[in-house]
Amino acid sequence: MTTQTLHPRVQVVWVLRAVLIAAVVTAPFAGAVYFDRLPEWVPIAVGAVLLSLGVAHALLRYRRWSYEIREDALYLDRGVVTQVRTTVPLVRIQHVDSRRGPVERGVGLASCVVYTAGSRGADVRIPGLTPEGASDLREELKRLAIRADGEDAV
Amino acid sequence: MKLAPQSVPYRALQKVSGIVVILFFVVNNNPDWGFAVAAGVAGAVVLAAVGYEVAYYRRFDYELTDDTLDISSGVISRREREIPYRRIQNVDVSRSVIQRAIGVAAVDLETAGGSSTEGSIRFVTPDEATRLQREVQRRKAAGSAGSARAGDEDAGRAGSGAGTGAGVGADRVGPDEEELFAISPGELALVGALSFDGRLIGLLAFLSSGSVPVLSSFIPDASAVALTATAIVGVGGLFLVSWVLGAGVAFTNYYGFRLSRAGDELRYERGLFRRYSGSIPTEKVQALRIADNPAKRALGYASLSIETAGYAPGQGGEQGSQAAVPIATTDRVYRLAREVESFGDPQFNRPPKRIRWRYAFRYAIVVGVLVAIAFGIEWFLGAGLPWYAPAALLLAVPPAAHLKWRHRGYWLGEDHLLTRNGFWSRTVTVVPYYRIQNVIDARTVFQRRWDVATIVADTAGGGSIAGSDAAAVDFATDEAVDLRETLRERLRIAVAEHRDRRDRFEWFDGDAEGADPVDEQTGEADEPTSDTNDGERSDDGGESGESGERDEDRSDTPDDGVIRPDFSGSDRDYSEPAERIDTGDYAVDRNPSDVGGTSESGDGDEDNDSSDDEKAEDADDDEK
C-alpha cells in the first residue's frame, strides 16, 4: 500500500472548526466594543488574524497528513507545528472503530480510530475518509491485525 | 468460598460510623430532642446496616475454578464476574490496624482493563488472603506457562521457576521465596529524612493567611522586629512540622519493606500500621523506572519502581507503584532491576553536542523574561532597585545547558530500550522491546530548526500517564528515524520469538511422547493457536491414556536435563482414562477426580437454596 492522503473535503471540516474557534475567541472583544471599552478595529483585527491562522493551519494540516499501511505496521505522519510520526505495529492493535460525527456526516466523510493498549498513543484517529473508505480501512486493519496474531503484552 | 464472618460487623460499623458521628452532633446541637431519640435512630441505622451486610455476606461468593476466578456479589443488583487468571496483573492484600486486630484482610485483584479495581474481596481472613494470592499465582503459572517471557535469561529463569513450581506444586505450597530486597534501618531513616510533605505547609499557609489580621489586632503594640522574629520562627516551625510529618508517613509506609521473588512472581510487603502485601507476575512488568536526584546521586542512592498495566489512571499515583523500592544504594538498585529485567550494562548515547546551544538559548530566554519582569516592577514602583540583578543568572546558563545535555540519553540493549532524562530528578526508564505498544516520533518547530527529533516508546504501563514515558529527546533526525525503525524491528522480532516459544510449548503439551521435536515443531508452527494458553483445554487435548506417564515425568527433572513447565491447570487426577459423559447437548470428558465435583455441585445447590432466602431478604430490603 502506498502512502495515502486524506479526502480533500476534510479541509471543509477543519476550516469550519477554525471559523468556530475564531468566532468564540472574538466574541468577548466584540462585547467590549459594544460596551464602548475598545475601539472598533480590535475585534476585526483579532478575528481576521485568528481566522487566517486557523485556515492556514487547516490547509497545511491537510497537506501534511498522510498514512500508510506497511507490512507490519501502520504509519501516520501529521502535524503542522509539531510534526508527529506514529508507528503502530499491527500486532499491537486492540480494536478498530469507524465513526462519523455530525459535521463529518454533513460533508459525507467518516474517520477510523485505531486503539492500542498504550497509555499515550492509546487511540489514533485517521480523519477525512469516505464512509466506504473508513469501513474498508477498518476491515483491512482487522484482517491484518488478526493475521499478525500478536498478544497484547499487558 | 465465603468471606470471613468477622467482616459482617466490621463492614457494618465502617459504613454507619459516619452517620453515628453526624447524629452525635445533631443531638449536641438540639438538646431538646433527647438522647433516647438519637440512640433509637442510631440503633435502627446500625440494625439496617447489619442486616444489609448479613445479606451481602450470604450473597458474596468467590470460587477458584480451573481458569477463572469467579466472584458473584451484590445484594440488590447482582453481579457475576469471571476473571481469567492470566489476565490478572496484581494481587494486593492490605490490612489496617483495626483489620489486623479483628483478623481480616482486604484483597484486590487488578487487571489491565477498566477504571477501577476489578476484583475486590472484602474481607477474608489473613490466611485465606495469602492462600488466594498463592493459588491465583499457581493456577496462572500452570495456565500460561506457554507464554513465557522473552529473552534467553528470562526463558531459563521461567523454566526453572516453573520447574520448582511443578516439584513443590503438588503440596500446594508454590515455589520458594527468594528475597531480593529488604529495607535496612539506615535506609528507612534516610527515606524518612528525605520525605517532606509540602501539602501541610500549603494548608497552614492558607489558614494562617486568613488569621493574620485577626492576630495582629490582638497584638497592636508589638514591634516590627518582634513580629518578624515570630514570623521566622513560625515558618521554621512549619517546615519542621511538615518534615516530621512527611518522615512519619514515609516511615510508617515503608516500615519493613521487602521484595522477594517466588517463581515467576515478585512479592512485596510493607507498612507499620496498615500492612500491604502483594504480588506482581514478572511477565506483567511493563517498565522499570530508576530515579534519583543530585542529593541522592552524591550519596550514591537511587529508587526503583516497577510498572504494570494494572492500575488505572484515576487510582492515584501512590498506588501506581506499590512495589517501588523507596531508596537503596545505586548498585543495589541496578542489581535488583536486573533481577527483574536483565538489561545488561547500559552505555548511553547522548544527543549531539550542538543541542547544548538549544538549551542555553532556552535558559537565556527565561533569564531575559525574569529581567524584564524585574524591570517592569522597578518601573512601576520607581524604588531604584537593581532590576538587572537577575541577569547574574546568565552565568548559570552554560553549566545548566551542559548538565541537561549530559543527563539525556538512550541505549539499545539486547532486549530492552533504556532512556535517561532529567538532572534534578533523573529517571532511567527500562522498556523491554516486547512491551512497546507504539512508537511516536515528534518534532516541534524549534526541534526542526535544530534538526532533531524526540522518539517515545509508548507502553501500557500506568506511569506513562504522568508524562514520564520512555523518551529519547533531541536526537539528530536521521539517528531518531533509525531508532524508530530499530524499535519497530526489534518489537517484531520479540513478538516472533514469543510466538515461537508459545507454539513450541504447545507442541510439547500436545504430544507427550515427543518423538522428534524439530520436525514436529516446524510442522505445527503455522497452525492457528487461538486457544494455546487455555491450560485445561490443552490438557484435555492430549491423549488421556498417556497423561499418567506425563504427570510422573513432570514431577522431577527428566534424564535429558530439559525442565518442562508444569501445564496442569487444575487439580484433576489424570491417572485413569477419562470417561465420556453425554450431557444431552454435548459430550464432556470426566476424569475420576471430577466425580468429587458432583458433590461440590451439591454444595452449589445448597448455595442456591440459601440465595433464595437472600432473595427474600433482598425483597425485604427493597421494601425498606
User: Measuring CA to CA, which residue among B519, B509, B580 is closest to residue B550?
Assistant: B509
Under the banding of pLDDT at 50, 70 and 90, the label for residue B624 is: very low
The C-alpha of A123 sits at a distance from chain B's nearest C-alpha, in angstroms, of 10
How far is residue B272's CA from residue B285's CA, in Å, rounded to a whole number? 26
Under the banding of pLDDT at 50, 70 and 90, the label for residue B614 is: very low
Backbone torsions φ then ψ of B602, nearest 5 degrees: -60, -45
Chain A interface disruption, residue of B280, B458, B482, B501, most A CBs within 10 A: B458
Under the banding of pLDDT at 50, 70 and 90, the label for residue A116 is: confident
**Domain A66-148 classified CATH 2.30.29.30?**
yes
Q: Does the beta carbon of B416 lie under 8 angstroms from any beta carbon of chain A?
A: no
For residue A117, give the amino acid letter. Answer: A
**Residues A51 and A44 sit within 8 Å (Cβ to Cβ):** no
Between residues B29 and B572, the one the model is more confident about: B29
Q: Does the beta carbon of A71 lie under 8 angstroms from any beta carbon of chain B?
A: no
The C-alpha of A48 sits at a distance from chain B's nearest C-alpha, in angstroms, of 24
Residue pLDDT, tens place only, B494-506: 988 888 887 766 5
Q: Please judge whether A89 and B112 are an interchain contact, meaning their C-beta atoms are less than 8 angstroms apart.
A: no
In this predicted structure, the answer to whether residue B575 has a pLDDT above a threshold of 60 is no
How far is residue B526's CA from residue B514's CA, in Å, rounded to a whole number? 19
Report in angstroms the alpha-carbon separations of A87 from A62, A63, A65, B6, B93: 19, 19, 14, 53, 39
Output the nine-digit C-alpha cell for A7: 479526502
Say if residue B123 is preceded by a cis peptide, omega within 30 of 0. yes
Q: What is the pLDDT of residue B529?
A: 42
Q: So where are chain B's domains?
A: 186-254, 285-351+408-493, 355-403
User: Measuring CA to CA, which residue among B318, B251, B602, B286 is closest to residue B417?
Assistant: B286
Residue with cell 495456565: B143
Q: What is the pLDDT of residue B357?
A: 94
How far is residue B118's CA from residue B110's CA, in Å, rounded to a whole number? 6
How far is residue A109's CA from residue A7's CA, in Å, rounded to a whole number? 8
| Pairs across A and B, CB distance < 8 A | 97
The C-alpha of A31 sits at a distance from chain B's nearest C-alpha, in angstroms, of 30
Q: Please judge whether A81 and B492 are an interchain contact, meaning their C-beta atoms are less than 8 angstroms apart.
A: no
Could you tell me where the beta strands, DSSP code E, fall in B423-566?
426-432, 438-443, 452-458, 470-476
Under the banding of pLDDT at 50, 70 and 90, the label for residue A111 is: very high
**Residues A14 and A104 sit within 8 Å (Cβ to Cβ):** no
Under the banding of pLDDT at 50, 70 and 90, the label for residue B1 is: confident
How far is residue B144's CA from residue B138's CA, in Å, rounded to a whole number? 10
Between residues A154 and B327, the one the model is more confident about: B327
Under the banding of pLDDT at 50, 70 and 90, the label for residue B450 is: very high
Between residues B122 and B171, the one the model is more confident about: B122
Three-state SS for B198-217 is HHHHHHHHHHHHHHHHHHHH
Asked if the ipTM is above 0.90, the reply is no
Q: Is residue B83 helix, strand or coil?
A: strand
Half-sphere exposure of A18 (CA within 13 A, CB side): 21
In this predicted structure, the answer to whether residue B210 has a pLDDT above a threshold of 80 is no
Q: Does the beta carbon of B449 lie under 8 angstroms from any beta carbon of chain A?
A: no
Q: What is the pLDDT of residue A76?
A: 92
Q: So where are chain A's domains?
A: 10-62, 66-148
In this predicted structure, the answer to whether residue B552 has a pLDDT above a threshold of 50 is no
**Average pLDDT value for residue range B547-567:** 50
Which residues are paired to B456 by β-bridges? B440, B471
Residue pLDDT, tens place only, A29-83: 999 888 888 888 999 999 999 999 999 999 999 999 999 998 889 999 999 999 9
Q: Please judge whether A120 and B440 are an interchain contact, meaning their C-beta atoms are less than 8 angstroms apart.
A: yes
Residues of A in contact with B460 (CB under 8 A): 117-119, 152-154
Q: What is the pLDDT of residue B598?
A: 45
- In chain B, pLDDT over 90 holds for what percent of residues? 21
Burial letters for A117-130: b for 16+ Cβ neighbours within 10 Å, e otherwise? bbbbbbebebbbbe
Half-sphere exposure of B388 (CA within 13 A, CB side): 0
Residue B219: Cβ within 10 Å count = 11
**Average pLDDT value for residue range B307-325:** 57
How far is residue B567's CA from residue B590's CA, in Å, rounded to a whole number? 18
**Residues B411 and B455 sit within 8 Å (Cβ to Cβ):** no
Using CB atoms within 10 Å of the CB of residue B145, give its burial: 0 to 12 exposed, 13 to 18 middle, 19+ buried.
Answer: buried
Question: Which 8-state DSSP code applies to residue B75?
Answer: S
Residue B240: Cβ within 10 Å count = 10
User: Measuring CA to CA, which residue among B116, B113, B96 is closest to residue B104?
Assistant: B96
Residue B87: Cβ within 10 Å count = 19
Under the banding of pLDDT at 50, 70 and 90, the label for residue B295 is: confident
How far is residue B99's CA from residue B95's CA, in Å, rounded to a whole number? 5
For residue B245, give the amino acid letter. Answer: L
Residue pLDDT, tens place only, B158-202: 444 443 333 333 344 556 778 888 888 888 888 888 776 666 666
Q: What is the pLDDT of residue B535?
A: 41
**Average pLDDT value for residue range B60-84:** 88
Residue pLDDT, tens place only, B391-435: 888 999 999 999 999 999 999 999 999 999 988 888 899 999 998
Residue pLDDT, tens place only, B231-244: 888 888 888 888 88
